[in-house]
Amino acid sequence: MCGCLCRIGTDQIFGKLAKIESSAAVVNLSFVSNMVGSFVLGALNASPMGSTRLGAMYKGLTTGFCGSYTTWSKWNQQLSLTLVGGANAASQSQVLSILSWFVGFHSFIGSYCVGLDFGKDIGGRIGKKVSPNGPKISNIAVFLLLVGAVIGFIVGVVVDPTQTGKQIWMAVLFAPFGASIRAYLAKYKVDRFKFPLGTFLANLLGALVLAAINVINTRAVTCGSGAICWSTVVTYGVGTGFCACLTTVSTFMSEIYKLRGTDPKFA
């Protein structure tokens, strides 16, 4: 939930700073969140305290927050819209969109590697100060935060009078379902190469569903004269919440990095 909400906020801030007026831009909205999320995940994975001192909080920060803060489907969609933008899309932008896939992929894994170095240094210093009772405390904190977040976001959907507000709250409510399915699928790997098949399938599934949502939004969704268009609210929630959290860049970069150590040729 928090990862999804932070990603939406990051995209809006970056969009305004970079003056990105549409998702079909070469410099896309999801680039910054994918970079930051990959860095944070690398730092958490390299930190000596890891799961031994943080308990459920560690799983929540890595698979939950970082996995939801980064998104493969939205990043892929934004580049695809530039690539297949039709006659209005400049040929130069289409070429750059193809290059952006390669540049983005290497940027994300590079950010993850920098996070690893950061975590080994800073994480080791912080880990010494964490209480041995950290896992127990973090488990209770995670439960309380989860209950409070669910109640708060449901209230937000009902109470918030604006279209944009309801869309954001709806996306946050759909987010845990996508993240949970991703966490379940991540268990599956190809034994021969240790290929992260589960995460790959989650990214593929999320991208396909998001593409379908985009078609529905452009061709099927019609809104009346009412103040709130609930069909748009729901499709935004499914796309930005469920699909974006079902897919992940940071976890995929982490698994690709580990794959390089076990079978560099395959990676």
Model pLDDT, residue 87: 44
In a domain, 267, yes or no: no
Model pLDDT, residue 47: 74
Residue type, position 149, single letter: A
- Of 70 and 59, the structure prediction assigns the larger pLDDT to 70
pLDDT > 70: what percent of the chain? 67
Tokens of 204: 């593929």
Categorize the per-residue pLDDT at 50 as very low, low, confident or very high, splitting at 50, 70 and 90. Answer: low
Model pLDDT, residue 24: 47
Neighbours of 33 (CB within 10 A): 26
The whole-angstrom separation of Cα 68 and Cα 253 is: 14
Is the CB of residue 35 less than 8 Å from the CB of residue 108?
A: yes
Task: Please give the helix or strand (H or E) that residue 45 lies within, else none.
Answer: helix 30-46
Torsion angles phi and psi, residue 190, rounded to 5: -85, 110
**90: exposed, middle or buried (Cβ count in 10 Å: 0-12, 13-18, 19+):** exposed
In tens, the pLDDT along 172-229 reads 888 888 888 888 888 776 666 567 788 888 999 999 998 888 888 777 666 666 667 7
In a domain, 78, yes or no: yes
Cα angle: 234, vertex 202, 145; to 5 degrees:
60
pTM of the predicted model as reported, rounded to 2 decimal places: 0.79
The whole-angstrom separation of Cα 142 and Cα 55 is: 10
In a domain, 72, yes or no: yes
In a domain, 231, yes or no: yes
In tens, the pLDDT along 71-92 reads 888 888 877 777 776 444 555 5
Tally of structural domains, the chain = 1
In tens, the pLDDT along 128-173 reads 555 555 556 656 666 666 676 667 667 666 666 777 788 888 888 8
What is the C-alpha radius of gyration for the chain, rounded to an integer number of angstroms?
19
Model pLDDT, residue 205: 92
Q: Which domain holds residue 15?
A: 2-262
In a domain, 177, yes or no: yes
